[in-house]
A and B are shown apart, each in its own frame.
Chain A
Amino acid sequence: MSTERFHEIVLPLKDKLYRHALSIIRDRSEAEDIIQDVLLKLWDKKKELSQIENLEAYCYRATRNLTLDRLSMKSFRKTETLDMKSFELTETTTPQTLFENKETASIIEQCIDELSETQKSVFQLREMEGMSYKEIAETLDLSQDIVKVSLFRARNNIKSALLKKDSFIKETKYGNRTNR
C-alpha cells in the first residue's frame, strides 16, 4: 500500500479505533497512545496491508489486541468515570437534570465495565459505531449468533441497572413524602 493510500484508507479510521480502545480501557490519554502505536505499526507494514481483505476489521482487531495487551500489562484499573464531555447544558437541560444525567452515565459506565470484553466490544460497535451484526461478527471474528446474544445480554444488563436505579429514586421520593 502506498503512503497516499494509507492516508486515504487507514488514517480516517483513527477516531473509530480510538472510541473502540476507549470503550475497553476508559482512559483518554492511554487510548490515544494505543491508537498512535497501532497506526505506526500499520504504517510499518503498509506494504502488506493491500493483501488484507477486510482492512477495517483488521485495524479494529489490531486495536483491540493492543488495548487488551496494555490493559493486562499495566494491570490498568479505571479509578473514576470518564468526564462526560457532552453532558452539558442545553436549552432543555437544567443543572438538576445535568447532575442526574451524569449520575446515570456513571451507572451506565459501571454496568459496561462489568460486562465481558466481548459484550463490551459488541455493544460499543453496535451502539456507537452503528455496525451491522455481520460487520461486528467479521470485526471480532465471532459468529453472528454470538454477536446477537452478547448484545442482548449487554442491553438487558444495562436496562435492569437503570430500572433498579429508577425504582430506588421512586422509593426514596415516596419515603420522603410519607415522612412529611
Chain B
Amino acid sequence: MEIEQIDKLLGKYWNCETSLEEEQLLQQFFSENVVPDNYKNVAPLFLYTHNEQKEKLSDSFDEKLNQKIEERQKKYITIKLFAPALKIAAMVAFILALSFSGLFWINSTKKQHFAETYNDPLAAYKEATLALDKLSLALQKSEKASLETLVQLNELNVDWDFIDSLNMEIYKNEEEIELKEEQNLKL
C-alpha cells in the first residue's frame, strides 16, 4: 500500500470515517510490513488490536463446561424422576412436623398440672403412702359398717310386702285428691 493512501486512511480512522474493510487494510499493513519511521508512534495500536483478536479461551474450557452441563442434566433428570416421591416426602414431613409441634404444645401445657411440689422423691413417696393408707383404712371402716347395718336389718324381720302395700294406698289416695281438685276447678 502506498504511503499517501495510508495517510489518507489514518486521517479517516481517527475521525471514525473508515469502513470495516479499510480498518482491516490498516491492520494488515501495520502487522505485516516493516513500518516506516513516521508511523512508528501509532503502529503499536494496530498491532495491539491485532493481538487482542487472537485471545481465546484455554483448551480445557470446553471439557470443564461440558462436565458442568452434564452434571446439570443429571441433576435435572434425577429431580424429574423423583418429583412425585419428593412431593410425598414433603407432605409426610409436613404432617410429622405438625404432629410433633402439637405434641410438644400439649406436653408444655400439661406440665403446669403435674408440677413437682417435693424436692426429695423419698419424702414424696412416704407422704403418698401415708395418704393411701389413710384412704384404705377409711374405706375398710365404711365397708364394715355397711355390712353390720345389713345384718341388723335382716335380724329385724320386717314384712316388706306390707310396707309396699301401705305405700301403694298412699299413692292412690294422693291421685284421687288431685282428680277431685281438677274437677272443682272446671266447675
A contacts, CB < 8 Å to B = 14-15, 18-19, 22-23, 28, 32, 35-36, 39-40, 43-44, 84-87, 92, 101, 104-105, 108, 124, 126-130, 132, 148, 151-152, 155-156, 158-159, 162-163, 165-166
Contacts and interface: CB of A to CB of B under 8 A. Distances in A.
B25 to A, nearest CB: 12
B168 interface: no
Interface residues of B, number: 31
Given A14-B61, A35-B57, A163-B41, A40 B47 contact: no
B49 interface: yes
Given A18-B55, A104-B48, 17 more contacts: A15-B56, A18-B56, A19-B55, A23-B52, A28-B58, A104-B44, A105-B48, A108-B48, A126-B23, A127-B49, A128-B49, A128-B52, A130-B24, A152-B15, A155-B16, A162-B41, A166-B40
Interface in B8-64: 13-16, 20, 23-24, 34, 40-42, 44-45, 47-58, 61, 64
Given A101-B44, A105-B44, A159-B42, A152 B16 contact: yes
5 contacts: A43-B72, A86-B54, A105-B51, A126-B23, A159-B45
A85 B47 contact: no
B68 interface: yes
Contacts, number: 87
Nearest to B73: A3
A19 B61 contact: no
A40 B72 contact: yes
B14 A156 contact: yes
Nearest to A43: B69
A117 to B, nearest CB: 17
Interface of B: 13-16, 20, 23-24, 34, 40-42, 44-45, 47-58, 61, 64-65, 68-69, 72
Nearest to A154: B16
Contacts of A92: 34
Contacts of B53: 19, 128-129
Given A19-B55, A36-B64, A86-B51, A108 B45 contact: yes
Contact of B65 (A39, A44, A151): A39
A122 B44 CA distance: 19
A133 B26 CA distance: 18
